[in-house]
Structure 1
Amino acid sequence: MTGPQGISAPLVYVSARRPKWSAAKGAIAVIEVPHIDLPRKLLVSEWGPIATDETLRNPVLSATLLGPKLDKARKAGVLGVIAVWRDIAPDNALGQYLPFTQPYHDIPAVWVAGDEGAKVVAAARSGQLATLVLDATLHPDTRTDTVWAVSPGTSPEETILLITHSDGTNGVEENGHLGMLALARHAVAQPHRRSYVFVLTTGHLRIPAVSKHGQATSTWLEAHPEMWKGEAGQARAVAGIAIEHLGALGDTENTSIGSYSLETTPEPELLYATSREVHDIVAPLWRDIGAGDRRIVAPGPVIHFGEGEPLFERKIPAVALVTAPQYLLALRDADTITHVDLDAMVKQVESFRDLLDAFDATDTAAFGPVVSRSVFAKFSALLQLMQILSKAKK
């Protein structure tokens, strides 16, 4: 934070390839961050044939993987940082709440793109003086609540976990609770064998503040082992469902002319199944929303996106919807055009309802073992990722 008066200091250009933050000591550092495509195979795995030429593009990836190391800048005595986002349409960069997986670094930093970004780079290369204003207020020790409830089953020693998060930036990022409420109504309308545990976890966009490792749901799981762990006196979670980003519309970006627009058709779904057996349960039940891509994927060699990740890490067989259009983390005003296709949302919620019934009727052993990522696969993917990122910084 700078306070309303801001900070005035020279602009110093810092190379992204090997940032020498000490060169900007007592100044405002300017660093370029490329917006890049990444091979799909490094981010998700396939239960079927792999299409090796496919790529994924999302501001979450470039901001998280290539964004400035603010802790190093602050330790070097840099007064502030301006990250210039390259190769991204300004309307796509607008309002992006990124990166959201880092703690507070106690150094003012802002992002710019498009023509403004080019002006800032030019000013930094010529050492011009600038004033950076980032006026904000911290609210330390603020408490937020994870809300959870149980619909008891006739065999409460086994549970099915239903997960979403309760914070978000727009009507797609934060709409999983609508699916949860629909499934809760379905649960209480009829008897079911397993107990259903509904969890609306807090802190999804403040992960470092609520979790020591993994997504925010990790904290709830560690606090309530009696609902899932299966040790003496504890219920065992036989399966899980994670619901996020229902009915997401697609978007289109043309970086050559700097255009960005919302589509009228749904975004291709990112739908995980963490075991082959879960995949086989999901495949015939999942409705086609008309997005043009109905593949059900496995967690990639490096990461499992979204709040289904804590279930995966604890070997709880699960299905997780975490569709990720480029605007997913962008702040959007309530009066702007909706990004949700209601028909697609309804189909997805109906699919989850049918999956919940199917999971309740499935024998425990039939969920199969959660897929494991080998050390070699992780190392190979990380090596490829490092090479891509290094090349992008040139």
Structure 2
Amino acid sequence: MTDYGHQIQRLRELGPRYSGNDAHRTLIEDVASELSALGYTVERDTHSFERWDVADGGSTLTIGQKDITVSSPWPYSGETGPQGATAPLTLVTGLPKDWTAAAGKIAVIDVHNLDVPSKLLFDTWSEELPFETVANPVIGSEFAGTDLTKAREAGVVGVIAVWSGLADDAARGQYLPFTRDYQGIPALWVPESERDIVLSAAERGDTATLTLDATKTPDASMDTLWAVSAGSGPNADEAVLVVTHSDGGNAVEENGHLGLLALARDAATTPHNRTIVFVCTAGHLRIPAVTQHGQATTAWLNAHPELWSPDTEGLTAVAGLAIEHLGAKHFGINPASGHYEPDGTLEPEILYATTSELAELTRATWSGVTVGSSTPLKPGALVHLGEGEPLHDQRIPAVALVTGPLYLLAELEGDLVDIDALTRQIDSFRRLQTHLAGPAESPSFGTVSLPTKEEKALAADQVLRFVQAQHQGRVAVVINLRASPPCGSSNR
């Protein structure tokens, strides 16, 4: 097994590294030890927050006398205690949702795993995008009108979110949505195989018991790590930022520290013109604990302008690299076994370059999922996915990898990472770092152009129209279900 293989095995052994839990803190110390062993002075920004956790078996659902499978608890939703919450069910539809009809009841909502046209999320530096659509439950969980604070304010007892268009094995353990603050109302996800039963029960107003036995830890903490490799050339006052995050639920989300450590090792052993700042952020899965806007890296940028901002007397960042989700295998349902497992292919890379100059450089240097070729994407007007977004927002030219398999936010065990692909991707980042930190003039990295308000508004309108059209289709299905006799579990 390669060294990378051992490190991936370490992630599997640690298990889910949710923000501030023991596994997460252990990984942070692993990274700090590795950086120290390379001779770096490791700095820390400590984030204190109230952590919310559910123990195994702490989330259950019963309708009448029937136990319903739970895919996952809704993180930072709320809690019921071990006794659970018992109330009639009612179906809540619409965008935005009218929660008032569910006052005193448990609301049931239908959430579709949206297959979104790539052009709604990404732009391109070439004539076409490398993939036509993007299907990830992160999108469905964010755009399904799932603001639970409004449900709480309306007096709703709890919420059951039913997946549609997502295989049960893919839905299991999804840590979604992960961007919300504490919602103050208990909520659960149930799989598509239970959909007909739950929606029919909601239409009849059956009584259910929702249990979410969660605990809060008010004095939890997690550390963002950073270390500086000083430049030795005439441009030592210019910086290249290398960022990733440490929290994640499986061996793909997040393994970016393997790339960061490899680049830090190169920088420690080879002189370089520009100063390189390595940042391993904490809080990507608990963004409200570290910042009100942006990503976890946003908090670090706000705390340390002297390491990147041209408005200070310190370093000025002229380029950046954001490393996430390395070597992701593609999973699918095996028609023979019915199991969710690797299908022998790799996930299409979501590889951003935020200037045309860096797109050209990336095409010349990158070997990733497809050896010797790449199609770098241009950030769309509405969003730049992942921890590269804060660099983009600050107009720091950057290349960012943020591949998004269906299982990205799931507690999925097993062999998720292709070590050869991971190695090629890390080696590509190493070549990019060598170029960015070397003698090349910073104007050759290009200038980041941010979208205008009008462009953002147009992009948001297009996404909204798409989501509404998809939602109308789901409503039609639900109405048809109401007209049908009650049915048993559909194990499709």
1:89/1:254 contact within 8 Å kept: no
Moved more, 171-180 or 59-68: 59-68
| Corresponding residue number in structure 2 for 1:372 | 450
Which whole-Å CA distance do the structure 2 matches of 1:91 and 1:195 have between them? Answer: 45
After superposition, residues 291-310 of structure 1 pair within 5 angstroms as 294-310=374-390
Cα deviations by residue, 1:45-86 (Å, 9 ceiling, x for unpaired): 110013599211111111111152201100000010001111
Residues 238-257 of structure 1: pairs in structure 2 closer than 5 A: 238-252=318-332
1:67/1:83 contact within 8 Å kept: no
Counterparts in 2 of 1:329 and 1:53: CA distance versus 1, 3 Å: closer
Shifted more, 349-358 versus 376-385: the winner is 376-385
- Secondary structure at the aligned position of 2:437 is classed as helix
Asked whether the equivalents of residues 355 and 378 of structure 2 are also in contact (C-alpha less than 8 Å), the reply is yes
Question: Helix, strand or coil for the counterpart of 1:156?
Answer: coil
Contact 1:16 1:32 in 2 (8 A): no
Q: Does 1:349 align with 2:420?
A: no
Aligned residue in 2 for 1:237? 317
- Counterpart amino acid of 1:351? S
| Structure 2 stretches lacking a partner, 5+ long | 1-78, 473-492
Q: What is the root-mean-square deviation of aligned Cα atoms in Å?
A: 2.0
Letter in 2 for 1:97: Y
Hey, what does 2:202 align to over in structure 1? 124
In the TM superposition, what is the alpha-carbon distance from 1:165 to its structure 2 partner? 0.2
Aligned-partner Cα distance in 1 for 2:463–2:338: 26
| TM-score calculated relative to the size of structure 1 | 0.95
Residue number in structure 2 paired with 1:213: 293
Specify the alignment match of 1:71 in structure 2.
Answer: 149
Measured in 2, the distance between the counterparts of 1:309 and 1:69 equals 23
On the 8 A contact 1:166/1:177 being kept in 2, the answer is yes
TM (norm. structure 2) is 0.76
Q: Which residue of 1 aligns with 2:46?
A: none
3-state SS of the aligned residue for 2:241? Answer: strand
Is the 2:226–2:279 contact (alpha carbons within 8 Å) kept by the matching residues of 1?
Answer: yes
Q: Does 1:311 align with 2:385?
A: no
| Structure 1 residue 384 displacement after superposition | 1.2
Residue 293 and residue 42 in structure 1: after superposition, are their counterparts in 2 closer, same or farther (change >3 A)?
A: farther
1:327/1:186 CA distance change after superposition, 3 Å: same
Letter in 2 for 1:44: F
Cα 1:84–1:291 change in 2 (3 A) is farther
Measured in 2, the distance between the counterparts of 1:392 and 1:293 equals: 35
| CA deviation map 1:283-302 (0-9, x unaligned) | 11101433898311010110
Any idea what SS the aligned residue of 1:142 has?
strand
Give the SS at the match of 2:212: coil
**In structure 2, what is the equivalent of residue 106 of structure 1?**
184
Contact 1:33 1:67 in 2 (8 A): no
Judge conservation of contact 2:392–2:398 (CA < 8 Å) in 1: yes
Task: Tell me: CA distance 1:294–1:331, structure 2 relative to 1, closer, same or farther (3 Å).
Answer: same
Give the length in aligned residue pairs: 390
User: How far does the alpha carbon of each residue in 1:75-108 deviate from its partner, in whole angstroms, 9 at most, with x for none?
Assistant: 0000100011112111111111011011110100
> Deviations for 1:196-245, whole angstroms, at most 9, x for unmatched residues?
10000010001112112101100100100010002341210110000000
Change (3 A) 1:297 1:31: same
Contact 1:42 1:381 in 2 (8 A): yes
CA contact (8 A) 2:393 2:450 kept: no
Deviation of residue 267 (structure 1)? 0.7
Work out whether residues 275 and 369 of structure 1, in 8 Å CA contact, stay in contact via their aligned partners in 2: yes
Query: Identity of counterpart residues, as a percentage?
Result: 49
Deviations 1:147-184 (A, max 9, x none): 11011111431111000001001000110001111111
CA contact (8 A) 1:16 1:31 kept: no
| 1:158 aligned partner, one-letter code | E
- Cα shift readout 1:348-388 (whole Å, capped 9, x = no counterpart): 11111111011112201111111322333322221111111
Change (3 A) 1:16 1:293: farther
Aligned counterparts of 1:270 and 1:172: Cα–Cα separation in 2: 14
Structure 1 residue 144: Cα displacement:
0.9
